[in-house]
Structure 1
């Protein structure tokens, strides 16, 4: 963990609010899933599912990622964040726009509140992107990990732009195709362009460091980078301009192979690790890596179609989003929270006491028992929801939904425990 210590690190007041709002959004997400009830079995473009999806990917995942990235820029780029004031301003604009956007979807205010909140959100995303790009301009280190991160940030900008255009189209109706066509592209840009590539960039730096792995083949990451981005570019251009089925298949194969190279890199890191015992944070992280196979399989099923009925196809589509957002992204965030946030708070509270007095370890800032119970509730959640979806069994989905609520409550308890940790000054004997 010492390699995370850097004089370039931003003040904790830049990073911590993102974790606080992300944690609250996680709790709200669990509540909305329970309130949605049987709407979860409806078409994936209904109001409730769109609201749940956006509080999940924006309020929960993206806000945690923003905060984490501000902390990790000095490590991955070896430079200071361009502007801490801009990061703080961006935070508040993003919070307000996410709450407005989620509420607008929930009540179906497509012609009014959705438009205003989308404009605000795109503005905040643009500020975030500029802050990261200007930080990268001064970077001392420009390796494959930083290339993944910068590319992900550019895809985020394009995701936000298309999202804004979709929102405006509800009011001004200027698109040639139906909304669902552009919604598919918007989701793919966000999940593959933004989240997947950011996770690869950050994960290829942090996971080997936490596992203490050396002599890894970083050429695999370079191959992964070009495969994923060439596949995604082909897919987007094809969906916008041509809609040729064979090009969709080629794109899927390229992205699939790119993911395999990344997974192979992480597997090598796992095999060569010096730290054999995995703590709760790394258990979550390994769960995320292993679960990446499910959305690949589901996307393959969706491409083939199998002449499935529309109702079943809609449920499988929702399950596809679930497998990425919860099986992969959320698992990784839950795990890495327990690796990064304790160190951020520990560094802020104890950096001046190191060598002068005995200090607790970062992992002692949270309750390992609570984190472990949380992990088992999460396993219940990710097992019950797919089974309940495919069988349309409401009581199984309810069990999974309340399990997620328990996860969110336990997670919030530990996050607050970390953030409000009181300094323990124990003199050396």
Structure 2
């Protein structure tokens, strides 16, 4: 069946995405156990070994695993072109991704496993990026989603490259940038490039298709990913030349807020007004995106002495009140 470039006939066997979906909760459990083990000490700083390990267990082992599995499932539907990886390379790719994530997390605690994670994650994620971009360049249709998915794939390639450079610093003392600028760029590109661009690409077609809403206006489908790429490019330039990252980060966060507001407006215009759990998930996700982006913009402007315990308590009270108002 083909409809406006979409193809429902090439959807992969269920075991292809399911293997990624079933693996992701295991990493969530490992991260949760590590969080319980560390207790309150985990909140002392973002550079603690446990903090870095939990971050990567969630970002690679859980989030990336689900996103990769979902791309196998949605590429035939949104772009009319499946990601075709033979069974044995697919098994090796996932096995390398699993072992590489575990090796990376263990390396933060001083175990000599960074070399293994460098090889395993570089090969697995690199192979997936090449496979995804190859399909998008050669066979994909669905122009309103093809472009943003391609940008998300390129962002993943940049994230992997930045991560490998950071690992090279741990292994061989090679640091191409001073300070933590490469780390901040690595995290920002992962969150707003790989994750947010992919969510944008999917939502532009999935929300109107399954929730019977008006389509996202064409100018927003072009402008939102474009502005996000501009913000990430300016972030890269600021990282290279050791400039302030605030304005680039504020631009990226503002794009996130704008996208969330437009998405919420689309959902309010849906024709089916019956209660829908999936719609609620979208609404809560957009609300959390707005909250997070507002904090990204405002936190650097808050005087440092207010960012201590008193400021944290005030922020928690504010978030609690906002949560009750939404409910």
TM-score, with structure 1 as normaliser? 0.67
Structure 1: tracts of 5 or more residues without a match: 320-383, 391-429
Equivalent runs, 1:193-342 vs 2, <5 Å = 193-243=193-243, 245=244, 248-304=245-301, 306-308=303-305, 312=308
Aligned-partner SS, 1:213: coil
Aligned-partner SS, 1:8: coil
Match of 1:76 among 65, 74, 78: 78
1:93 partnered with 2:96: yes
Q: Deviations over 1:123-177 (max 9, x none)?
A: 1111110111111123342423221111111111111111111111123222265
Q: CA deviation at 1:59?
A: 0.8
Aligned-partner SS, 1:174: coil
Give me the whole-angstrom Cα distance separating, in 1, the residues matched to 2:70 and 2:255. Answer: 24
| RMSD of equivalent CA atoms | 2.8
Aligned-partner SS, 1:175: coil
Whether the aligned pair in 1 keeps the contact of 2:79 and 2:145 (CA below 8 Å) is no
Whether the aligned pair in 2 keeps the contact of 1:224 and 1:257 (CA below 8 Å) is no
**Residue of structure 2 equivalent to 1:130:** 130
Q: Deviations over 1:164-196 (max 9, x none)?
A: 111111232222655533211111111111111
**Residue of structure 1 equivalent to 2:61:** 59
Q: Alpha carbons of 1:252 and 1:100: their partners in 2 closer, same or farther (altered >3 Å)?
A: closer
Give me the whole-angstrom Cα distance separating, in 1, the residues matched to 2:45 and 2:172. Answer: 24
Whether the aligned pair in 2 keeps the contact of 1:39 and 1:48 (CA below 8 Å) is no
Q: CA deviation at 1:27?
A: 2.1
Whether the aligned pair in 1 keeps the contact of 2:208 and 2:215 (CA below 8 Å) is no
Give me the whole-angstrom Cα distance separating, in 2, the residues matched to 1:278 and 1:148. Answer: 30
Q: Alpha carbons of 1:94 and 1:226: their partners in 2 closer, same or farther (altered >3 Å)?
A: same
How many residue pairs match? The answer is 313
Determine which structure has greater relative contact order: mean sequence separation of CA pairs < 8 Å that are 6+ residues apart, divided by chain length. 1
TM-score, with structure 2 as normaliser? 0.86
**Residue of structure 2 equivalent to 1:378:** none
Give me the whole-angstrom Cα distance separating, in 2, the residues matched to 1:211 and 1:143. Answer: 21
Q: Alpha carbons of 1:72 and 1:36: their partners in 2 closer, same or farther (altered >3 Å)?
A: same
Give me the whole-angstrom Cα distance separating, in 1, the residues matched to 2:251 and 2:205. Answer: 23
Bigger mean CA offset, 15-24 vs 95-104 = 95-104
**Residue of structure 1 equivalent to 2:106:** 103
Q: Deviations over 1:39-97 (max 9, x none)?
A: 22211110011111011111111100100011001012111223243433311211111
Give me the whole-angstrom Cα distance separating, in 2, the residues matched to 1:133 and 1:205. Answer: 20
Aligned-partner SS, 1:292: helix
Aligned-partner SS, 2:28: helix
Give me the whole-angstrom Cα distance separating, in 2, the residues matched to 1:235 and 1:65. Answer: 24
Aligned-partner SS, 2:241: helix
Whether the aligned pair in 1 keeps the contact of 2:256 and 2:293 (CA below 8 Å) is no
Structure 2: tracts of 5 or more residues without a match: 320-327
Whether the aligned pair in 2 keeps the contact of 1:216 and 1:269 (CA below 8 Å) is yes
**Residue of structure 2 equivalent to 1:189:** 189
Whether the aligned pair in 2 keeps the contact of 1:39 and 1:49 (CA below 8 Å) is no
Whether the aligned pair in 2 keeps the contact of 1:223 and 1:258 (CA below 8 Å) is no
Bigger mean CA offset, 77-86 vs 45-54 = 77-86
